[in-house]
Amino acid sequence: MTSIRTRFAPSPSGYLHVGGARTALFNWLYARHTGGRFILRIEDTDKARSTEDSIKAIFEALEWLGIDWDEGPFYQSKRTEIYRQYIERLVRTGHAYYCTCSPEKIQQMREKAMAAGDKPRYDGTCREKNLGPQPGAVVRFRAPYSGTTVLKDVVKGNIVFQNSELDDFVICRSDGTPTYNLAVVVDDLTMEINTIIRGDDHVMNTPKQILLYKALEAQLPVFAHVPMVLGNDRSRLSKRHGATSVTAYRDMGILPDALINYLARLGWSHGDQEFFTREELIQKFDIAAVGKSAGIFDPVKLQALNADHIKASDPASLAPRLVPFLARTGIEARPDQYMAKVIATLNTRSKTLVEMAEAARFYYLDQITFDEKAARKFLKPAVAPALEKLLAKLEQLDEFSDKSLEKVFIQVMEETGLKLGKIAQPVRVALTGTSVSPGIFEIIGVLGKKRVTDRLEKALEYIRERSG
């Protein structure tokens, strides 16, 4: 059996958007699932729009997603000689010809066709002139005027195109550069791509490409045109629907595995399962299971899935990812064992790494600032005796285990007659500055004796100052 070879071929005219990322993902998953090869190609022949910054942005996004490539990156801009050889071959075999019609003359042809109720097209003026290469000439493919071209598509089924709808399309511009359809066919042939998975906006290009394959006496690849990614209003995904850049979701605190999971489920399904690890996606992905309906991108669902991935992640593995988000809040910290303990108290209550970083700040601050409303409600003079007793008992503890902490709190409750909530909430404000946080025993266990006792001392000072 021939090994599967897929490719992702973005144009570097901007960032990698989520639609392109899903195309890359489907190709990558299928190659990994089948034990094949995944090739990266940069289609940078449009010199006016292609930029080095865009190329770097694409690499950055793919690397963050964990989509690695086996061959490449190949650059179309460096393959001009290869395209030239194939163009000459098509001319030599009679499948292409030189055309010297001016842009003005071609425009007249199109207007005449439209006036007659036909599609605007080139009328074949130079088709039989046997012209040679000359300044200003383009090369056109000699398209058949009759018959049909059939696209056998794994996702969409068979699509039949009438050849009479096509014209003799340009394959080489007057400056010697190849057009998209010629370049992509030559690239896929020479890179031995045998499975082409791409967005269904490419369907209308495909009959021209099929004709080129046949003219070159080459075997057709398997085509799979996947439905577009749309916004909630079912229009093409754009900035008005929210962020469309992959790296924007990274900066929002979305995990790469969560985004991959979500993108894979936009158009592909495996029963009713929603949550997939990367390994499960590789194991179960099959291009034949991609549906015909467009995927609707919902940022709310993505965030909910991200919360599930955060919850399922090992805290130590999340630590390096949390570091830059902590830095945004002014906290410089290392991804060490302490951070893993911090994350373990927050990973069931954080939808994003941004939320987690904000919630983790109190673990790292030298000085806690009390939320005014929380302090006014819970740090009252009446609670001072309980805090003093708790402080004294905690200072005597050798270890802060759940069992030992529970014993201390029970003792304080018995000595003061207060219920746990009446003690725990003031302690929570004392330790975190707010009235909302992870479990009180979790917090104390992570902060350790010195931080806990220092913060309780500060809370008692605050109460004494307020009581005058």
Catalytic site positions: 239
Kindly tell me the burial class for residue 418, based on how many C-beta atoms sit within 10 Å of its own C-beta (0-12, 13-18, 19 or more). Answer: middle
Helix (H, G, I), strand (E, B) or coil at 362: helix
Q: Do 449 and 395 form a contact (C-beta atoms < 8 A)?
A: yes
Q: How far is CA 75 from the centre of its chain?
A: 22
Q: How far apart are CA 54 and CA 11, in angstroms?
A: 9
> What is the distance between the alpha carbons of residues 350 and 354, in angstroms, rounded to a whole number?
8
- E-strand ranges in 17-136 read 37-42, 71-75, 96-99
* Distance from C-alpha of 25 to C-alpha of 79, rounded to nearest angstrom: 26
3-state secondary structure of 62: helix
* Rounded distance between C-alpha atoms, residue 299 and residue 296, angstroms: 10
Task: Give the whole-angstrom CA distance, residue 41 versus residue 24.
Answer: 11
Q: Give 425-428 contacts, CB < 8 A, sequence gap 24+.
A: 425/378, 426/378, 426/379, 426/380, 426/383, 426/386, 426/387, 426/459, 427/387, 427/390, 427/456, 428/378
* Tokens 């916004």, residue located: 231
- Count the helices and strands in the chain (H runs, E runs): 18, 12
Q: Are 456 and 391 in contact (CB under 8 A)?
A: yes
C-alpha–C-alpha distance, residues 251 and 270, integer Å = 29
Which pair of tokens denotes residue 171?
């394959």
Among 44, 73, 55, smallest CA distance to 14 is for: 55
Q: Note whether 181 and 211 are within 8 A (CB).
A: no
How much is the CA Rg of the chain, to the nearest whole Å?
32
Dihedral sign (CA 93, 171, 79, 4): negative
Q: In this structure, are residues 139 and 96 in contact, taking their beta carbons and an 8 Å threshold? A: yes
Strand partners, 151: 159
